[in-house]
Amino acid sequence: MSTPDQVETVFGALQFFDGMPLPDTVTRSYDTLDLLRGIEAFLNCVPGASMVAMRRGLAGLGIDSRTIGFTSPRCSSAPLVLTANTETTYGMTCLALDQDGPTVIEAPPNSLCFVNDLWQRYVTDMGIAGRDKGEGGKYLFLPPGYDGDVPDGYLVTRPATFSSWVLMRALGGEESLLRTRIYPLSAAADPPEQRFVNFADSDFNTVHANDFSFFEEIDTLVQSEPPEALDPERAGQLAAIGIVPGKPFQPDDRMRSILDTAARIASGMVRTLAFKPRDPSFYHYPGSSSWKNPWPSRSYEFLSAEGARLLDARAVFHYVGAGTSPAMAAAAVGAGSQYAYTAEDSTGAWLDGGHAYTLRLPSGIPVKNFWAVNVYDPQTRSMLRTDRPYPSVNSLSDAVRPEDNGDTVIHFGPTAPQGREGNWVQTVPGKGWFMILRLYGPLESWFDKSWRPGEIEPA
């Protein structure tokens, strides 16, 4: 029932007089509390900071709410975009419902498109997994608080934020993607000509900060969106460090230094969570395999079976990737997509760009559409930049050669194996790397685990 005169902590000794803190303890306690709250705010607000950075990066290329950025012929490693791939024809933009009012998206047919709000929460699917069932359809996005007339003939959606990130993946390629249209409802009778910007080879950055400016990114979001768009718990964490809707974020030198330290610590922690998770549910195959599932509970909301928010899983996913939807997290057999990632070889050592490795994918790779292996830079979590602009091997390429028994062996290393150049992904000496195995239209043998990839073997 009593407080000792001195309590030893990892932050130093806390000293008391009959339970009452001495002056140094008061200072140390508040410094520690602010640091801990800054760390928690970083880990819990990564999804929002990532969307702010995405919108800023696109805007720098002239991609606004009425412009669609796209990749033609396919995305290269030039853009810094979290775990993008080289196979899908991408389109993306950010809505601005506060400026444009109700907005129409005419989704392309035969596509896998989805929309997340600015806190990177799921809003809707469009395309195969959406209400148009892949036929293409007109989706109407209404601003928060909108109480005006809603015309018939639209698939109506109400995001919680004015700005939302729209990701389009057209399985029919560029021709299909270029059929997409975005325009204000007020212009529906005579929509303007759609603007497109090809960013496939553009060197631009959509990755959020890992220092004090991370919190400035979050403040940008908080100030521009309705307060009710943020849940009370995160709102409380942010208020505790000075980020409050309608008020300037002006930390003093002490608080600025603490938050800078908090961001750097938290970014290190989330890297540990991502590459060496301690939660066994991250591991796709229990036991010695290093293959990990980015949705350990198969929930796009990162909820456990008991309904608890898996905070580490949410932080990991949004630190490494962008965008979430039910069709990605818990795809049905033959629909959507599934993913597995690793940064380790079969011995448990980190993948080293100066060494050579092989990965065997047994015959009968369980996909209805196609599979791909993409290699990423662990620092930027974007595609690895090498002499070759497309750090991937995939089943869409005629250059990929299977073995005589039907297996596919993929090679990684700084130099190509003779005669297997089509099965090779270049890596960079002195740099680590990690990879993602992507299955589009995954089949039953992936889900029941009767088919499984090999481990990455040192050559």
Give the pLDDT mean for 413-432: 97
What's the pLDDT tens digit per position in 102-158? Answer: 999 999 998 889 999 999 999 999 998 899 999 999 999 999 999 999 999 999 999
| Residue 454: per-residue pLDDT | 98
Give the pLDDT mean for 228-257: 97
Q: Is the pLDDT of residue 331 over 80?
A: no
Give the pLDDT mean for 366-375: 95
| Residue 332: per-residue pLDDT | 81
Give the pLDDT mean for 356-370: 96
Q: Is the pLDDT of residue 336 over 80?
A: no
Q: Is the pLDDT of residue 94 over 80?
A: yes
Rounded percentage of the chain residues whose pLDDT exceeds 90: 91
Q: Name the residue with higher pLDDT: 128 or 449.
A: 449
What angle in degrees, to the nearest 10, is found between the helix axes of 23-59 and 213-224? 70
| Residue 139: per-residue pLDDT | 98
What's the pLDDT tens digit per position in 165-189? Answer: 999 988 778 999 999 999 999 999 9
Q: Is the pLDDT of residue 334 over 80?
A: yes
Q: Give me the chain's average pLDDT, please.
A: 95
d(CA 38, CA 249): 14
Q: Is the pLDDT of residue 58 over 90?
A: yes
Q: Is the pLDDT of residue 287 over 90?
A: no
Q: Is the pLDDT of residue 303 over 80?
A: yes
| Residue 226: per-residue pLDDT | 97
pTM above 0.85, yes or no: yes
Instruction: Report all structural domains of the chain as residue ranges with CATH numbers, in order of start.
Output: 6-54+208-272 (1.10.3360.10), 63-198 (2.60.40.1610), 331-458 (2.60.120.600)
| Residue 401: per-residue pLDDT | 95
Q: Is the pLDDT of residue 97 over 90?
A: yes
Confidence of residue 306 (pLDDT cuts 50, 70, 90): very high
| Residue 422: per-residue pLDDT | 96
| Residue 335: per-residue pLDDT | 78
Q: Is the pLDDT of residue 1 over 80?
A: no
The answer to whether the CB of 423 falls within 8 A of the CB of 408 is yes
